[in-house]
Structure 1
Amino acid sequence: MLGVLLGWVARNWDVAWLGTTLTKVGEIFVQLLKLAVAPLVFFAITISITNLRNVSNAARLATRTLLWFMATSLIAVALGLVIGLLTSPGSGTGLSAKDAAKPETSGSWLDFLTGIIPTDIITPFTELQVLQIVFMAVVVGIAALKLGAKAEPILKLGESVLALLQKALWWIIRLAPIGTIGLIGTAIKDYGWNLIGSYATFTADIYIGCAIVLFGVYPLLLGTVAKVNPLQFFKGAWPAIQLAFVSRSSVGTMPLTQKVTERLGVPKEYASFAVPFGSTTKMDGCASIYPAIAAIFVGEFFHVDMGIKEYLLIVFVSVIGSAATAGLTGATVMLTLTLSTLGLPLEGVGLLLAIDPILDMMRTATNVAGQVVIPVLVSAKEKILDREAFANARSFSLDGWNSEDAEDAAPAQAPAGEPAAARTPATVG
C-alpha cells in the first residue's frame, strides 16, 4: 500500500526525485537477487542431483516429478486457451499498429535446442544464460555420481559454496519489504491506471487464469491426490508465494521455496532436487497460461485466424518448451518462441511489454506455488511425506526469519524413501 501511495504521488504530482528513488530501490533489489542466480543455479542443481543417491527409488521420484510438471502445465495451458477464446482479449483494446514492435531478443526452436549447449564455461555465467548453466550443472552432477568417492571433495566444496550463497541470499530476501515499495511504486509511477485500462481484458485474463490454477487446480490436486489440507498448504507456502509476487523471480525465490517445501514435510534430499529443477523449468504462469492468452491476443490484434492446429501447437510449446523461461523475470523468450512457432508477428511482443511487469507478478507467484505443490504431491504418492510436519507447518515473517532459524525450527524429517509410519498421522482434509 505504501508503494502504491508513493507511486501515485510520484506520477500525479510529478515528484521527480521520488520517482527516481522508487526506481533505483526496485532495481537494486532485483539486481541483488540476480547477483546470486548463476552460481546458485549451478551449485543447487549439481548438489541436488548428487543428493539423489541418498534417496530410495530416486529414478522413480525424478520421473514422477517431471511427469507431474508436464501434467500441470497441460492443465494450465488448456485453461489459458479456454479463457482467451471466451474473452477475446485482443479485440477493442484501443491500441494501434504503431504500439507494436519486435523485441530485442527472441526465441526459436533452433535457438532453444542449440542454445542449451554452451560454447565455453564462462559466458553462461557472465551473460546469465540460465538454461546453459542448468545443462552444465546436470552434466557435472551426473559425472560426480559416476565418480563416486573420488568426487566427494568437490561435492563438499559445492555444498559449502551453496550454503554461503543461500546465507547471503537470505540477507537479500529480508530486504523484501523495502524492495516491494520500490517495485510496486515504480509500476504505478510508470504505468498508472490508464495503461491497464487499454489491456483490461488481457490483464484480467492473466490474473483470473493464474488464480484458477493457484487457488483451484492446485488445491484440488492436493486434496484428491495428496489427500492433504489445501489451506494448510497455503499457510506453509505463503512466504515463498508472497516473495515471488514481489520479486518476479523464481530463481531468486528458490532458497525460500525449498525451505517452505521442506517445512511442509517433503524430505530434504528430494526437495533439494525437485525445487531447483522446478525453479528453472516449472512455469505454469509464465510458460502455460501467459503464452496461450498472449498468442490469442496477438492473433486477434493482427486479424490472424487460428484453428485447432495452432491451439495444439500452443499446448506443445507450453508443455515442452517451458525451460526457455529459465526462472528469471519476464517471459519474453517463451512468448517469442510461441509466436514464431505459430507464425504470428513478433511485433505483437511490443504490445505486451508495456504491461508485462504487472502481469509477471501473478505469473511468478503461480510458478512458485506449483514448484512447491509438485514435491508435496510426489512425496505423498510415494508415502515419504511427513504428514505431521505438514499439519504443523506455519507461515512466518521474512523480516524476522533467517536460514539459521529455519534450520533450528524445521521439523524432523523421516529418512528419504522411508514412510513416517511410526508417527501418529495428522487429520487432513
Structure 2
Amino acid sequence: MSTTARAQKAPDTRGPVRRLLTSFGFQIIAALVLGIAVGLLARGQGATADSPTGLSATLDTIGSSYVTLLRAAVVPLIFTAIIASISNLRRVQNAARLAGQTLLWFAITAFIAVTIGIVLGLVIQPGARAGEGLETGEPYTVGTWWNFLLGLIPQNFLGLGVNTQLDLEAGTAASSVSFNILQVIVVATVVGIAALKAGKKAEPFLVFTESLLKVIQRVLWWIIRIAPIGTFGLIGAAVVKYGWEKLASLAWFAIAVYIGLALVLFVVYPILVRSNGLSIKQYFSGVWPAVQLAFVSRSSIGTLPLTERVTERNLGVPRSYASFAVPFGATTKMDGCAAIYPAIAAIFVAQFFDIELSIIQYLLIVLVSVVGSAATAGTTGAVVMLTLTLSTLGLPLEGVGLLLAIDPILDMGRTAVNVAGQALVPTIVAKREGILDEELYNAPRQGLPFAEDDVDDDKTDATPDAVSDAASDAAESDTAEAAPTR
C-alpha cells in the first residue's frame, strides 16, 4: 500500500464573517433556529395540522419537497451502490473474512446499544412518566417476521408497487408508486453476485454501474447542499403539527432516547476506537461531517455517499473494502433506529399500558435488535423496527401511535448514531486486519470542499471536511488532495 504526496491546500482568503456564513454547520444551526421561530409564529397565527395557514403550508411544502428529493435518489443509489460494492470485493484479498468480520462487529455494537437501551428504559421509566393527552393509534406501517421474510421475495425487478385509493363519493381514484427497498437490496445483491460469477463478460456492465453510481452521487451532493433549506421547512412544520404540548408529554421518553444515543456515540464508540489503538479525536474529526449531515437529513441512505467518502479519505479505510462495507451498513447497521430506540420504546409501551415484561421478553428485545436490523431498510425504518419488536413481544401495536409526535426529533439523533456506526465498523475491521492507512487516519483534516472532485476519483480525491465548507467554497478551491492508491 502506497500513499501519494498530497497537494497543499490553497490559502483561505475569506474573512471570518464570510467563513462563518459559508460554513455548512452554521447554516444548519441557523436553519434549525429559524425553523422553530417561524413554526411558533405560524402556530401563533392559529395554524394547526388540521387547519393550515399559508405560512404553515409553505413550511410543510419546503420540508416535504426536500424529503421527496432524497427519496427520489434512494432506489438508484442503493441499486448501483450494492452492485458496485459486491463487485469491488473481487479486488480484495480475504473478502469472505472481511465480510464475516463486518457482520460480527455489526452484531457486537448492536448488542451493546440495545443493552444500554434496556437499562435506560428500566431506570428512567419513561412510560410511567408520560404526560396526559397522549392518544393511541394504529401504526401506518407494521413489521413482522413473516412480512419481513415475504418482503425478501421481489415482486418485480425493481420492487415496484402501485397503491390505488378509491373515493367512491367523489368517484375518483388516486394512485401512488412506491418501492420496497428491501426487495431492491435483494435484487441488487443477486445481480452483483451474478456479475461476479459472469467474469470478464460482465466487466462492461460493472464499469457502467460504477460510472452511474458516480453520477447519482453527484446529484446527491447537489441535494445535500440545500439541506439547510429542507431543515428550515421540516423543523418549522414539525412545530406547527405537534406543538409543544405533545412534545412536552413525551419529554422523558425523548430524554431517555437521547441519553442512550449520546452514550453510544460519545462513550461506547470512543472506547472501541481506543481499544483498537486508534485516536478518538481523529475518529470524530474524520466522521463528523457525515454525522452532521445525517442529523439534518434523517437518512442513512441519503448520507451514504458522504459516509463512504469520509470512511475512505478521512479514516483511511481502503476503497475496495469501504465500498462494500459502508453501503451494506447503510441498509443494515442501525444502532440508533434498530437497537436503542426500539428497546426504550418497547419498554415505554409496556409501562404505559401497565404490562410487566418477563426476562424472556427482554432477551427477545436483544435478539430482534441484533438480527432484525435488515427489516429497517427504507425511509420508515424505525417504525418498522418498533412494530417488529412489539409484535414479537406481544405488546399492543397501538402504542406506536403514542410516539409518532416526536419521531422526527428523535430520528435526527438516531440517524446520526447510525451513520457514526456505519463508519466505525469498517475502520475497526480494517485496523484489525492490517489494511487501514493509519497515516491517512492520523493526518490533519485539511478542510477542503467535500462536494466536488475536479479530477478522476480513482487518482485524486478532495479531503471531505464535508459539511464545514459550503458550495461557494468549492468554486473557489481548485486544489485537490491525492488519495492513497490501494
Same fold (TM over 0.5): yes
Give the 3 Å change call, closer, same or farther, for CA 329–191 of structure 1 in structure 2: same
What is the CA distance between 1:190 and its match in structure 2?
2.3
Q: How is 1:355-370 mapped onto 2 (pairs within 5 angstroms)?
A: 355-370=406-421
Q: Residue 317 of structure 1 aligns to which amino acid in structure 2? A: V
**1:238–1:395: 8 Å Cα contact kept in structure 2?**
no
**Where in structure 2 are the equivalents of 1:342-357 lying within 5 Å?**
342-357=393-408
Q: Measure how far apart 1:312 and its partner are.
A: 0.2
Kept after mapping to 1: 8 A contact 2:217/2:305: yes
Aligned counterpart for 1:116 among listed residues 152, 167, 170: 152
1:339: which partner in 2?
390
Alpha-carbon spacing, 1:104–1:191, altered in 2? closer, same or farther (3 Å): closer
2:338 is equivalent to residue 287 of structure 1: yes
Q: Which of 162, 171, 174 is the matching residue for 2:222?
A: 171
Report whether the alignment pairs 1:404 with 2:440. Answer: no
Distance 1:321 1:261, change over 3 A: same
Moved more, 200-209 or 21-30: 21-30
- Give the Å deviation of 1:414: 4.9
Instruction: Identify the residue that residue 248 of structure 1 maps to in structure 2.
Output: 298
Partners of 1:236 and 1:393 within 8 A in 2 = no
Report whether the alignment pairs 1:230 with 2:280. Answer: yes
Greater strand fraction, Structure 1 or Structure 2: 2
C-alpha contact (below 8 Å) 1:241/1:366 kept by paired residues: yes
Write the distance in 1 (CA, Å) between the matches of 2:298 and 2:97.
Answer: 31
Residue 89 (structure 1) aligns with: 126
Give me the whole-angstrom Cα distance separating, in 2, the residues matched to 1:390 and 1:240.
Answer: 16
Q: Is the 8 A contact 1:261 1:372 kept in 2?
A: yes
CA deviations on 1:285-341 (whole Å, 9 max, x unpaired) are 000000000000101111111011000000000001011111525511111100000
Partner of 2:201: 150
- Determine whether 1:42 maps to 2:79: yes
Matched, 1:29 2:66: yes
Of residues 34, 37, 54, the one that matches 1:2 is: 34
1:205 maps to what in 2?
Answer: 256
Q: Does structure 2 retain, via aligned residues, the 8 Å contact 1:247–1:361?
A: yes
What is the CA-CA distance between 1:393 and the residue it aligns to? 5.3
1:11 is aligned to 2:43? yes
In structure 2, what is the equivalent of residue 161 of structure 1?
212
Q: Tell me, in whole angstroms, the C-alpha distance in 2 between the residues paired with 1:70 and 1:268.
A: 23
Offset at residue 223 of structure 1 (A): 0.8
Cα shift at 1:192: 3.0
Describe the superposition over 1:118-145 as per-residue Cα deviations: whole angstroms up to 9, x where unpaired: 1221434852211111111111111111
Query: Does 2:254 align with 1:217?
Result: no
Given that 2:461 and 2:482 are in contact with CA atoms closer than 8 Å, whether structure 1 keeps it comes out as no
Alpha-carbon deviations, 1:224-256, whole Å to 9, x = none? 12x111122111211111111111110011011
Match of 2:352 among 301, 306, 309: 301
Q: What's the CA shift for 1:7?
A: 1.9
Amino acid at match of 1:105: T
The alpha-carbon distance between structure 1 residues 395 and 296, as it changes in their structure 2 partners (threshold 3 A), is farther
* Range that drifts further, 201-210 or 232-241: 232-241
Which structure would you say has the larger Rg?
2
Moved more, 162-171 or 19-28: 19-28
The letter for the 2-side match of 1:403 is: E
Q: C-alpha distance in 1, partners of 2:408/2:41?
A: 20
8 Å contact kept, 1:249–1:329: no
Q: Is the 8 A contact 1:248 1:330 kept in 2?
A: no
The answer to whether the aligner puts 1:258 opposite 2:308 as a matched pair is: yes
| Distance change in 2, residues 1:181/1:396 (3 Å) | farther
Q: Aligned with 1:127: secondary structure? A: strand
Taking structure 2 as the reference length, the TM-score comes to 0.81
1:239–1:395: 8 Å Cα contact kept in structure 2?
A: no
Two-structure CA RMSD over aligned residues (Å) = 1.8
Once residues 412 and 381 of structure 1 are traced to their aligned partners in structure 2, the CA distance between those partners, rounded to angstroms, is 25
Once residues 393 and 158 of structure 1 are traced to their aligned partners in structure 2, the CA distance between those partners, rounded to angstroms, is: 33
Aligned CA distance change for structure 1 residues 111 and 158 (closer, same or farther; 3 Å):
same
Shift of 1:194: 2.2
Structure 1 residue aligned with 2:433: 382
The unaligned stretches of length 5 or more in structure 2 are 1-32, 48-52, 162-176, 464-480
Question: Which residue, out of 108, 124, 135, partners 1:99?
Answer: 135
The DSSP-based 3-state class of the residue aligned with 2:356 is: coil
Matched-pair contact (CA < 8 Å) for 2:137–2:402: yes
Structure 1 position 373 matched with structure 2 position 424: yes
How far apart, CA to CA, are the structure 1 residues paired with 2:160 and 2:236?
A: 32
Question: Runs ≥4 in structure 1, deviation > 3 angstroms?
Answer: 122-126, 405-408, 410-416
The separation in 1 between residues aligned to 2:446 and 2:101, in whole angstroms, is 28
Amino acid at match of 1:78: T
Q: Shift of residue 8 of structure 1?
A: 2.1
- Within 1, Cα distance between the matches of 2:86 and 2:206? 11
Cα distance in 2, alignment partners of residues 233 and 107 from structure 1: 34
Which of 37, 46, 68 is the aligned partner of 2:105?
Answer: 68
- Paired letter, 2:219: A
- The CA deviation at 1:191 is 2.5
Letter in 2 for 1:346: L
TM-score w.r.t. structure 1 length?
0.92
Secondary structure of 2:138 counterpart: coil
Deviation readout 1:27-69 (Å, 9 max, x if unpaired): 1111111101011101100110010110111111111011000
Distance 1:12 1:203 in 2: 25
- Give deviations 1:244-278, integer Å, cap 9, x for gaps: 11111100110111111111211111111011000
State the match for 1:423 in structure 2: none
Task: Give the residue type in structure 1 aligned to 2:152.
Answer: I
For residue 134 of structure 1, the aligned residue among 168, 185, 201 is 185
Identity score, percent: 57
Distance (Å, rounded) in 1 between the aligned partners of 2:92 and 2:44: 57
Amino acid in structure 1 at the alignment position of 2:96 = A
Following the alignment from structure 1 to structure 2, what is the Cα–Cα distance between the partners of residues 109 and 395? 46
Query: Judging changes above 3 Å, is the alpha-carbon distance between structure 1 residues 394 and 187 closer, same or farther for their aligned structure 2 residues?
Result: farther
